[in-house]
Amino acid sequence: MSDTDGKKTLGLRGTARPGNVKQSFSHGRTKNVVVETKRKRVVVPKAGATKSTGTSGAAGGDPSRRPAGITDAEMERRLKAVQAAKAREAGEAAEREAEEKARAEERDRRRAEQEEKEREEREREESLKAKAEEDKRRQEEAEAAAKAAAAPAEEPVIQRPAREKAAPEAAPRKQQDRERDTNKRGKGGDDNRRSGKLTLNQALSGGEGGRQRSMAAMKRKQERARQKAMGGQVEREKVVRDVQVPEAIVVSELANRMTEKVGEVVKALMNNGMMVTQNQTIDADTAELIVEEFGHKVVRVSDADVEDVIKEVEDDDKDLMPRPPVITIMGHVDHGKTSLLDAIRNAKVVAGEAGGITQHIGAYQVKTEGGQLLSFLDTPGHAAFTSMRSRGAQVTDIVVLVVAADDAVMPQTIEAINHAKAAKVPMIVAINKIDRPAADPNKVRTDLLQHEVIVEQMSGDVQDVEVSAITGQGLDELLEAIALQAEILELKANPNRAAVGAVIEAQLDVGRGPVATVLVQNGTLRQGDIFVVGEQYGKVRALINDKGERVKEAGPSVPVEVLGLNGTPEAGDVLNVTGTEAQAREIAEYRANAAKDKRAAAGAATTLEQLMANAKADENVSELPILVKADVQGSAEAINQAMEKIGNDEVRVRVLHSGVGAITETDVGLAEASGAPIMGFNVRANASARNTANQKGVEIRYYSVIYDLVDDVKAAASGLLSAEIRENFIGYATIKEVFKVTGVGKVAGCLVTEGVARRSAGVRLLRDNVVIHEGTLKTLKRFKDEVAEVQSGQECGMAFENYDDIRPDDVIEIFEREEVTRTLT
């Protein structure tokens, strides 16, 4: 018996027990910490003391074995608390054990279900595979039997090795599949079991803490496998889309908009009889059929829909703010218009800034003594103003008509008056050269009465100011009259919106590229804005005002030079700010294509014959506009009076402009804007006017007899009336016999019974007095000779164009159509 029997080995395990704890931190860092746990001493009374407590009447037992200050009642409460804590711990331990057991059973059940599903899936796949191998083997046997029937001697050589080889290969392959599945299942079972806490490596390696497939994904996979096993196709729900179909679309783009396969779309087109590829273009009707065949909804769009992004928006009255007026100064070139403009600039522009004004901009601003801004447009000729009016760019608010006091009203002055009336803008008459000795302003006022311009001194409503560009007399009064007229008009615009403007002039600068002078009409044009103007587009790189200074923005009625275009626009084009560069490019390309088609279309010129044809096609045309230029005023008045008499309730002639003198380039511009021909009576057009007319397709006609002019205009106006079509029957023929001629078809041997039969006439085939065919003759022969006509009582051969159903005793009716033009009386 050793010395240690019944005794415990001495050690350091007392109330304090040291231990190592491994702490884990982020980024894989760990730290070992020494932790010392200290047991709490629990005072438990001995058994003898408890029994004595129960038997004796003392409540606290032996006072000598009890901690100091503890009574019997306190000691009893403590013992009951200890017993309750032990009971609670025992109950919690039992609950934990039951929960752990339930979780283990749930895991085992789920694992068994998963293994059962996998086993069923494998068995299904093996059965399908075995079925496929069996079908393949039967097919091979059938082929081998067919070959054996053709060559009986070769049967043992071909058939037996195939059977012997197929059987041994099937068994090892199945055995290998079972072993592979068993290994996978065994490994998977070990990996899927939770073996402790989740670590960073397990999460990154896709273990238990990695992303798992959802139940919905598992159900979808099982559904696809079930459908595949049953031999059916997996059907997806059809998504109906709204497909936008333009006038022409590429097949691949159509498939993309429907989210269908290109091959399916091409197949559908081929089924409809169209052999196209994915890169070919189809029309809108064909595309609509294909879209409806695929079950989508068709939304027809037009190429012109690209301009919907720049539609005019009505501004609220509360957003409108006053804007400076835009004034255009017009008049005869010799009446001092340029001198008056220079005088206004020199009088109202600081001397130091006068040299910085860019003369070619054609627009500038002047500030009156009252502090009001005025925007002036410098139009050297009338052509630019007319082209702007023809494009609908009403940029001018007030027209200042300059008339020389010593020259009175001249032909170009009258043209300026007509331009102002056509644009429907108010006029202010500036009687210039008042400082000359021969000046007679009253004669000017009297001459203006003949053209329905009544000034205020003649009890009219048109302001007139006597000015002198040389001495500066009356310039302040002229500016005050302009300001008063602008105040009457109450010109307002909304500066807080996308800019809209008109091009005054445009040029191609060597150093700056395309430059356009733009007058902002509404909104504010800022640097960096993307815009489209006519057939061009661009982004504002710089804005330069009339003083040559760079500005960041330009408000309403402010003229600026715009840099950043991709091409040079035309005078009068409208500038619109867009949201994106893609929109601007698309609009510009559409306008360029439309202009190209318009130029390429036949009949773009304005002639009398084309006016007649256009009037027939357009029912709304009820007026025939013309321009008249004569050698003397009396002839012009006579022509005007004759034109007023032409017409009835359906059509009438409107004289846009009647003047005296040679036909000028201004007349051609006005005619081109209004789509009217020019009638010249004993006058001719100068060289520049002829060149402009040839370029713009404006017709100029010359007359020396007034009756010829009236007859031609009356004929053109009669073309507005619908023509009458009459049929004249010129003959009848009876079919005696029908012959078949090679290369011609059926030929009718006819006898002309009445009138004459002509090769160029129309024919009708009558059978029992019923019209069964109407057409033309393909041939008309007499004795094997092609003839133009056959007289009554003679025989001939007739063959119809694209018609062979002719029989003996049929009657051929020959007629001619005649268009009877209605004339004006």
pLDDT digits (tens, 9 = 90+) for 272-299: 888 889 898 888 889 999 999 998 998 8
Query: For 748-762, what is each residue's pLDDT tens digit?
Result: 999 999 989 888 888
Q: Which of 625, 624, 713, 638 is nearest to 682 (CA)?
A: 638
Name which residue leads in pLDDT, 8 or 745: 745
Q: How confident is the model at residue 383 (pLDDT cuts 50, 70, 90)?
A: very low
The pLDDT, as a whole number, for residue 263 is 92
The model's confidence at residue 605, banded by pLDDT at 50, 70 and 90, is very low
pLDDT (average), residues 619-629: 77
pLDDT of 264 reads: 92
Decide if 405 contacts 444 (C-beta within 8 A).
yes
| pLDDT at position 691 over 80 | yes
Nearest-angstrom CA–CA distance, 202 and 210: 8
pLDDT tens-digit profile of 725-737? 888 888 999 999 9
Per the model's pLDDT, the better-predicted residue between 1 and 302 turns out to be 302
Residue found by looking up tokens 């041939």 in the block = 779
Containing 481, the helix (H) or strand (E) segment is helix 475-489
Q: Give the Å distances, CA to CA, from 573 to 384, 501, 514, 536.
A: 11, 9, 14, 10
In the chain, how long is the greatest CA-to-CA distance?
Answer: 168
Q: How confident is the model at residue 56 (pLDDT cuts 50, 70, 90)?
A: very low
Q: Give the percent of the chain with pLDDT over 90.
A: 14
At residue 497, the pLDDT reads 87
Report yes or no: 246 and 283 within 8 Å, Cβ to Cβ.
Answer: no
Burial tier of 618 (Cβ tally within 10 Å: 0-12, 13-18, 19+) = exposed
- The answer on pLDDT for 159 being more than 80 is no
* Confidence label for 646 from pLDDT (cuts 50, 70 and 90): confident
pLDDT for 265 beyond 90: yes
Indicate the pairing of strand 559-565 with strand 513-522.
antiparallel
Q: Compute, in degrees rounded to 10, the torsion defined by CA atoms 584, 586, 588, 591.
A: -140
- Pick the closest to residue 358 from 221, 225, 550, 522 (CA basis): 550
Q: Give every CB contact of residue 170 below 8 A, 6+ residues apart in sequence.
A: 133
Helix H or strand E segment including 514: strand 513-522
Mean pLDDT of 100-118: 90
> Kind and range of the H or E element at 635?
helix 633-645
Query: What mean pLDDT is predicted for residues 574-603?
Result: 80
Which of these, 560, 557, 482, 559, lies nearest to 323 by C-alpha position? 557
Give the pLDDT score at 84: 92
Q: Tell me what the pLDDT averaged over the chain comes to.
A: 78
pTM for the predicted model, two decimal places? 0.43
Q: What angle do CA 44, 48, 50 make, to 5 degrees?
A: 60
Which of 110-124, 127-141, 180-194 shows the lowest per-residue confidence on average (mean pLDDT)? 180-194
- Residue 55 — pLDDT band, cuts 50, 70, 90? very low
Determine the pLDDT at residue 627: 92
Give the DSSP H/E element, type plus range, for residue 139.
helix 72-150
The pLDDT of residue 350 is 36
Between CA 658 and CA 450 the distance in angstroms is 12
* 712-725 residue pLDDT tens: 888 888 777 767 78
Per-residue pLDDT for 51 more than 60? no
Q: Quick check: 185 pLDDT over 80?
A: no
Per mean pLDDT, which of 6-15, 44-53, 507-516 is the most reliable?
507-516
Sign, CA dihedral 62-65-71-74, equals negative
Q: Is the pLDDT of residue 525 over 90?
A: yes
pLDDT band at 82 (very low <50, low <70, confident <90, very high): very high
pLDDT tens digits, 533-587 = 988 999 999 999 888 889 999 999 888 999 999 887 877 788 999 888 888 888 8
Q: Say what the pLDDT of residue 382 is.
A: 38
Strands (E), 234-318: 242-245, 248-250, 281-283, 297-300
Per residue in 762-798, pLDDT (tens digit) is: 899 999 889 999 888 888 888 888 888 899 888 999 8
For the four alpha carbons of 795, 797, 800 and 806, in that order, the dihedral sign comes to: positive
What is the phi-psi region of residue 343: left when phi exceeds 0, alpha when psi lies from -120 to 50, beta otherwise? alpha
- Residue 700's pLDDT is 92
From residue 160, how far is each of 166, 378, 381, 786 by CA, in Å? 10, 106, 106, 85
Whether the per-residue pLDDT at 52 is higher than 70: the answer is no
pLDDT at 131: 87
Q: What is the arithmetic mean of pLDDT over 603-618?
A: 60
Residue-level pLDDT at 381: 44
194 has pLDDT over 90: no
Torsion of CA 412, 415, 416, 417, to 10 degrees: 130
Contact in structure between 545 and 551 (CB atoms under 8 Å): yes
Place of tokens 């050269």: 433
User: How far from each other are the two terminal CA atoms of the chain, in whole angstroms?
Assistant: 159
Nearest one of 516, 502, 503, 519 to 555, comparing CA atoms: 519
Q: Which residue would you say has higher pLDDT here, 818 or 621?
A: 818
Confirm if 479 and 507 have CB atoms less than 8 A apart. no
Q: What is the mean pLDDT of residues 334-363?
A: 57
**Which amino acid is present at 701?**
R
Where is pLDDT greater, at 805 or 207? 805
